[in-house]
Chains A and B, each alone.
Chain A
Amino acid sequence: MSEVIVVTSGKGGVGKTTTTANVGTGLAAMGKKVILIDTDIGLRNLDVVMGLENRIVYNLVDVVEGNCRIKQAIIRDKRYPTLFLLPSAQTRDKSAVNPSQMVKMIGHLKDQFDYIILDCPAGIEQGFQNAIAAADRAFVVTTPEVSAIRDADRIIGLLEANEIHKIDLVINRIRYDMIKRGDMMSSEDVVDILSLPLIGMVPDDENVVIATNQGEPLVGNNTLAGKAYQNICHRVLGREVPFLDLEKGISFWTKVSGIFHRS
Chain B
Amino acid sequence: MIVFKNILKRKSSREIAKDRLKILLISDRVNCSPEMMEMIKDDIAKVISKYMKIDTKSMEIQITKTGSKGRSLKNPTLYANIPILDINTIK
Contact = CB atoms under 8 A, between A and B. Distances in A.
B33 interface: no
A156 B65 CA distance: 13
A195 B14 contact: no
B91 interface: no
Query: A-side binding surface: helix, strand, loop or mixed?
Result: helix
A43 interface: no
A150 B68 CA distance: 23
Contacts of B20: 146
B13 A183 contact: yes
B66 to A, nearest CB: 7
Contacts of A157: 29, 73
A186 B13 CA distance: 12
Interface of B: 12-15, 17-18, 20-22, 24-25, 28-29, 66, 68-73
29 contacts: A145-B17, A146-B17, A146-B21, A146-B24, A149-B25, A150-B21, A150-B24, A153-B25, A153-B28, A153-B29, A154-B28, A157-B29, A157-B73, A160-B72, A160-B73, A161-B73, A181-B12, A182-B13, A182-B15, A184-B13, A185-B17, A185-B18, A186-B14, A189-B14, A193-B22, A193-B25, A195-B66, A263-B69, A263-B70
